[in-house]
Amino acid sequence: MNSLVITGGAGFIGSNAAAYYLSRGAAVTIYDNLSRPRTQYNLDWLRSRPGAENLRCITGDVRDADAVRTAIEHAQPDLVLHLAAQTAVTTSLRNPREDFEINALGTFHVLEAVRSLSTPPALFYASTNKVYGSMEDVALVEEAQRYHFRDFPAGIDESRPLDFHSPYGCSKGAGDQYVHDYARIYGLRTVVFRQSTIYGLRQFGVEDQGWLAHFIIAAVLGRPIKIYGNGKQVRDMLHVTDLVAAYDAAWHNLDRAAGEVFNIGGGIDNTIAIWTETAPLLEELAGHPLPVTHGDWRPGDQPCFVSNNAKLAARLGWKPTVSLPTGIRQLWAWVSENRTLFEG
C-alpha cells in the first residue's frame, strides 16, 4: 500500500489505524473535523510516531461534499478507511438530523468522492452491530450473572436480518447498505465491517460510547458510574489492534474481501457482562469496591450481542489475538499513566 485516507483519523480507531500504517511506510491522510475532545492529543501522538513524515492532516467535515472530494482527489489513495461517524445511540435520539447528516449523508459523500476518481480506491466502512436492532425475537437464557443466546452458541452471523431500532441504527445502516450496494452497482471495491464493541488504548470513553473505557476512567479517577438495565448485558469485546489487523487482512486479500459484509467482534471467547462480570475485575485493579447507581434500560439496548466471526476467519484467516483480561489490564495501565488527560 502506498497511500490511504482515514476519515475520522484523529479518533480512537482512526489514530490506531493511522499509527499502524505509518509504521509500515504508508502515506496517511487524516480527514477529521476535530470535534471530539482530545483528538488533538491523538494527532500530537501520531506526529511522534515512526513514519510521521508521511502524515498529512486535513481539518474537514464529511457533511461537506466538496471538501471530502477535494481531500480524496488530492491524496489519490489506494484505500479509504471511512471511520468518521456520530457513534452514540443516545445522541442520535436527541439530534436525529445531525446523526443522519454525519452517518448517512457523510457516507454518501465519501462514496461519491471515491466513485469520481478514474481509478477508484478500495473503501472500507466501519458499520455496527446496531444494524441488527434489539433482536427481540432471539431467545435468551438469563443466568445469575449474564445473558446468553439459546440458539446461537457461536454468535450472530451476517445472515441475521437488519432491523434499525434507533436513529443511530438507521443512519449507520443506511451507510452500510449504500457501501455494500456501490460494490454491486458500480463495481467499487468496498468492504463493510459490522463491528461489535471495540476497546483499547487512546479510547476516551464516555457514558454513551466506549463503555469499558468509560468505566475504567471513572474507576481510576474516582468518578461515579451509572449502569443502565440490570448489568447482565453481554458484549463481545474486540481489541483495537485486532480490528486494525482485520482491516489489513482485507486489504491484502482484497480479491476475497471486496463486495463483502463481515461481522467482527471479540467472539464467544471474549465476552463479558457489562457490570456483573466487569465490576469484580475493575475492583480488583482498583483495590476497593466501586460505587454504582442504576437507571432504566435504554432504547434499543441489546441484552446480548456476540459476533460470529466465522466468515471473516474463513475468507481472510483472521481471528482475535488479544485476550480480554490482557486488554483490560493494558487499558487500566494506560489510563492510570495518563490520568491528567482525563481530569478537568
Which pLDDT tens digit goes with each residue over 181-218? 999 999 999 999 999 999 999 999 887 789 999 999 99
Q: Tell me, yes or no, if 168 is annotated catalytic.
A: yes
pLDDT for residue 299: 73
At 142, the pLDDT band (50, 70, 90 cuts) reads very high
Does 300 score more than 90 pLDDT? no
Q: Which of 254, 250, 239, 228 is nearest to 324 (CA)?
A: 239
Higher pLDDT, 314 or 37: 314
Distance CA 123, CA 99 (A): 21
Whether residue 17 has pLDDT greater than 70: yes
Give me the sign of the Cα torsion angle 328, 297, 196, 101. negative
CATH class of the structural domain 85-341: alpha beta
User: Which amino acid is present at 160?
Assistant: R
Instruction: State residue 134's pLDDT score.
Output: 85
pTM for this one? Answer: 0.96
pLDDT of 180 higher than 90: yes
**Residue 337 clears pLDDT 80, i.e. is over it:** yes
Mean pLDDT of 225-247: 96
Least confident range from 125-129, 132-136, 179-183, 333-337: namely: 132-136
Look over the chain and give the mean of its residue pLDDT values, rounded to a whole number: 95
Give the per-residue pLDDT at 1. 62
**Selected catalytic residue, list 20, 147, 168, 182:** 168
Mean pLDDT computed over 89-117: 95
Q: How confident is the model at residue 225 (pLDDT cuts 50, 70, 90)?
A: very high
Q: What is the pLDDT of residue 173?
A: 96
Q: Does pLDDT of 3 surpass 70?
A: yes
Confidence of residue 298 (pLDDT cuts 50, 70, 90): confident
Q: How far is residue 31's CA from residue 71's CA, in Å, rounded to a whole number?
A: 8
pLDDT band at 344; cut points 50, 70, 90: low
Residue 89 pLDDT class (50, 70, 90 cuts): confident
CA distances from 278 to 126, 194, 220, 224 (A): 26, 24, 14, 15
Indicate whether 36 pLDDT > 90: no
Range in 133-137, 180-184, 224-228, 333-337 the model is least confident about: 133-137
pLDDT of residue 276: 97
First vs last C-alpha separation in the chain: 41
The β-bridge relationship of strands 190-195 and 55-59 is unpaired
* Domain positions in the chain: 85-341
Which of 37-41, 174-178, 313-317, 337-341 is least confident? Answer: 37-41
- The pLDDT of residue 279: 96
Adjacent-strand bridge partners of 148: 141
- % of the chain at pLDDT higher than 70: 99
| Grid cell at residue 115 | 466513485
> Is pLDDT above 80 for 80?
yes
